[in-house]
């Protein structure tokens, strides 16, 4: 990758770091907030899903106007609103105030992912896009390696409000660098598309078999991964018996493994093919999904090892999977399509979170029951993604890159 491409992708990864950390930190706080606010698993799932479902709404609306603006300006607008919402989360005082704050954060956050992916896809040529996606996924890994463990340390040592404050402050410090180094991305504005045509293009997405396949693939991919995520921390603490003060280690080890594997898998995907790498990573990840969701009282080092492999294999699915999805559309309508893709992913995470709350329940000691059922559903969805990936690759071969 060229120097300017590395700078842009690095900044997008840092932005992604704050964006993802805000979303991720809510879930590990479950074992703190559930006893503090006397929440059931379904009530906590509503708090988690409120972000995703509001992001779904804003992502859907963005489909009709995303390609009308410079991608950089739209990204900075969304990110500023997102940071305000994160500040509001830090000062929530109960269930309903937190839900409102998460909704505000989600409305702006729902616009961010599509713009990041669109900027990467517009700026980075396809032959180097696997590496770019690997670096971008480093934002997720960084959130796991540094953000979540540090956020949990703050929550355990001081108060649960502090992680949100730190995320918001870091984001404010990042804004000037985004203004300076990220170029205007407006080549798609040379031939602007009218609203009527945008609506027509929206319907055209569903008549394009490659794009429909990519959206189904995206929904299955995110739902299959996320369905076991919201309740992982309470499950480890109240079922597996991991002491709460050691839970940051789970995300530290997993994040380090994810950070390393993201770079390796990005290069492998460019060298050997996105689908082949995706299929192998998906099949390997199934083993660890089953282990995690049926975990007895194991020693901490065994738990850490399993989570390290799970984080690595999950990253192995996501990096080539996202690269395949970006290929399903041309530059002219990429903003609208990626907004729809972000919309689909938000719907998938929101649906998965609610489903996890409906299927499971907690007892008087906050132990989670029926968690293994979530693992079985995840396995079915991962295998569905494997089958869909074959069809998607055939469709992508018909598209001029």
Phi and psi angles of residue 364, each rounded to the nearest 5 degrees, phi first? -65, -25
Q: Is the pLDDT of residue 381 over 90?
A: yes
**pLDDT band at 293; cut points 50, 70, 90:** very high
Q: Among 176-185, 326-335, 356-365, which is the least confidently predicted range?
A: 326-335
Top pLDDT among 394 and 103 is at 103
Q: Among 45-59, 192-206, 255-269, 362-376, which is the least confidently predicted range?
A: 192-206
What is the CB neighbour count within 10 angstroms for residue 206?
11
pLDDT in tens, 106-155: 999 888 877 887 888 778 877 777 778 777 766 666 776 788 888 888 88
Closest CA to 121 of 287, 8, 286: 8
Q: How far apart are CA 15 and CA 384, in angstroms?
A: 31
Q: How far apart are CA 391 and CA 326, in angstroms?
A: 15
Q: Token match 């295998």: residue?
A: 383
Answer for the pair 114, 71: CB distance below 8 angstroms, yes or no. Answer: no
pLDDT in tens, 82-93: 999 999 999 998
pLDDT in tens, 211-262: 889 999 999 999 999 999 888 988 998 899 888 888 888 888 887 888 788 8
**pLDDT band at 401; cut points 50, 70, 90:** very low
**pLDDT band at 379; cut points 50, 70, 90:** very high
């Amino acid at each position: 990758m060229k120097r300017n491409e590395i700078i842009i992708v690095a900044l997008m990864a840092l932005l992604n770091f704050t964006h993802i950390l805000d979303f991720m930190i809510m879930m590990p706080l479950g074992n703190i907030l559930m006893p503090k606010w006397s929440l059931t698993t379904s009530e906590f799932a509503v708090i988690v899903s409120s972000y995703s479902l509001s992001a779904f709404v804003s992502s859907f609306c963005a489909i009709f106007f995303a390609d009308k603006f410079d991608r950089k300006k739209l990204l900075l607008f969304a990110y500023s609103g997102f940071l305000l919402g994160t500040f509001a989360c830090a000062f929530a005082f109960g269930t309903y105030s937190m839900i409102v704050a998460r909704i505000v954060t989600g409305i702006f956050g729902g616009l961010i992912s599509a713009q990041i992916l669109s900027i990467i896809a517009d700026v980075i040529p396809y032959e180097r896009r696997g590496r770019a996606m690997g670096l971008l996924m480093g934002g997720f890994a960084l959130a796991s390696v540094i953000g979540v463990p540090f956020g949990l340390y703050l929550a355990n040592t001081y108060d649960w409000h502090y992680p949100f404050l730190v995320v918001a402050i870091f984001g404010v410090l990042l804004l000037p660098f985004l203004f300076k180094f990220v170029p205007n991305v407006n080549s798609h504005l040379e031939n602007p598309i009218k609203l009527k045509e945008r609506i027509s293009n929206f319907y055209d997405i569903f008549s394009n078999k490659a794009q429909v396949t990519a959206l189904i693939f995206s929904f299955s991919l995110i739902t299959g991964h996320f369905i076991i995520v919201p309740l992982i921390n309470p499950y480890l603490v109240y079922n597996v018996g991991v002491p709460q003060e050691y839970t940051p280690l789970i995300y530290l080890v997993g994040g380090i493994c994810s950070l390393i594997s993201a770079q390796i898998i990005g290069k492998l995907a460019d060298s050997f093919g996105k689908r082949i790498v995706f299929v192998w990573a998906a099949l390997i990840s199934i083993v660890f999904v089953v282990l995690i969701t049926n975990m007895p009282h194991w020693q901490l080092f065994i738990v850490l090892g399993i989570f390290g492999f799970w984080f690595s294999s999950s990253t192995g699915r996501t990096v080539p999977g996202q690269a395949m999805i970006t290929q399903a559309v041309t530059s002219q309508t990429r903003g609208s399509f990626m907004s729809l893709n972000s919309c689909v992913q938000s719907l998938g995470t929101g649906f998965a979170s609610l489903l996890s709350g409906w299927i499971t329940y907690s007892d008087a000691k906050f132990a989670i029951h029926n968690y293994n059922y979530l693992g079985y559903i995840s396995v079915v969805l991962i295998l569905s993604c494997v089958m869909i990936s074959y069809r998607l690759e055939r469709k992508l071969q018909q598209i001029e890159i």
